[in-house]
Structure 1
Amino acid sequence: MGYKPNSVARTLRTSKSYTWVVTDEIATTPYAGQVLQGAQDAARKLGYILLTANTNNDAELEDQEISALRRYNVDGFLYAMMYHRKVDIPEVLEGSLTVVVDGEDAAGKVPSIYPDDEMAGHDATNRLIQAGCRRIVYYGSTTTIIAQGERLDGYRRALAEAGIAFDEALVVNVLEMTNAAAEAARVFDEIKPDGIFCFNDVRATFIYEAARERGVRIGTDVSVISIDNQPFITDVIKPSLTTLELPHYEMGFEAVRQLVAMLDGDKAVADLESDHGMAVQRQRDGGKTALRCRIIERDSIVL
Structure 2
Amino acid sequence: MKDVAAAAEVALKTVSRVVNEEPGVNAATAARVVAAIERLGYRRNESARVLRKGRTASIGLVIEDVADPFYSGISRAVEDVALRNGSLVLSGSTGKEPERERGLVLTFCSRRVDGLIIVPTGSDHEYLLPELDAGIAAVFVDRPGGLDVDTVLSDNSGGARTGVTHLIRHGHRRIAYVGDSASIFTATERLYGYRHALRDAGLPYDESLVATGPAEQAGTALTGMLSFDDPPTAVFTGNSRITVAVLRTGHRLPMVAFDDFELADLLVPGVTVVAQDPVRLGSTAAELLFRRLAGELGTPERIELPTRLIPRGSGELRPS
Question: What TM-score does the superposition give when structure 1 sets the normalisation length?
Answer: 0.72
Matched, 1:88 2:118: no
Contact kept? 2:198, 2:205, Cα under 8 Å: no
TM-aligned CA distance change 1:297 to 1:257, over 3 Å: same
Matches within 5 A, 1:1-303: 8=46, 11=50, 14-45=53-84, 47-54=85-92, 56=94, 57=100, 59-60=102-103, 62-68=105-111, 70=112, 74-81=113-120, 86-88=123-125, 90-91=127-128, 93-94=131-132, 95=134, 96-106=136-146, 108-141=147-180, 143-161=182-200, 163-169=201-207, 171-176=209-214, 180-190=218-228, 191-205=230-244, 207-208=246-247, 212=251, 218=252, 222-231=253-262, 234=264, 237-264=267-294, 287-302=301-316
TM-aligned CA distance change 1:93 to 1:297, over 3 Å: farther
Please report how far the alpha carbon of residue 224 of structure 1 lies from its aligned counterpart in structure 2 after TM superposition: 0.4
Rg (Cα) greater in structure: 2
CA distance in 1: counterparts of 2:74 and 2:286, whole angstroms? 10
Contact kept? 2:60, 2:105, Cα under 8 Å: no
Count of residue correspondences: 266
Identity %: 22
Q: Highest relative contact order (Cα 8 Å, sep 6+), 1 or 2?
A: 1
Alignment correspondent of 1:278: none
CA distance in 2: counterparts of 1:35 and 1:264, whole angstroms? 22
Q: Look up the SS of the partner of 2:80 in the other structure.
A: helix
TM-aligned CA distance change 1:189 to 1:256, over 3 Å: same
Question: What TM-score does the superposition give when structure 2 sets the normalisation length?
Answer: 0.68
One-letter code of the match for 2:269? P
CA distance in 2: counterparts of 1:152 and 1:75, whole angstroms? 36
CA distance in 2: counterparts of 1:194 and 1:55, whole angstroms? 37
TM-aligned CA distance change 1:90 to 1:7, over 3 Å: farther
How well do the aligned residues superpose, as a CA RMSD in angstroms? Answer: 3.5
Please report how far the alpha carbon of residue 247 of structure 1 lies from its aligned counterpart in structure 2 after TM superposition: 3.0
Return 5+ residue gaps in structure 2 as ranges.
1-18, 22-43, 95-99
Q: Look up the SS of the partner of 1:231 in the other structure.
A: coil
One-letter code of the match for 1:240? G
Contact kept? 1:115, 1:291, Cα under 8 Å: yes
Contact kept? 2:82, 2:89, Cα under 8 Å: no
CA distance in 1: counterparts of 2:313 and 2:268, whole angstroms? 8
One-letter code of the match for 1:103? R
CA distance in 2: counterparts of 1:229 and 1:292, whole angstroms? 14
Return 5+ residue gaps in structure 1 as ranges.
213-217, 267-284
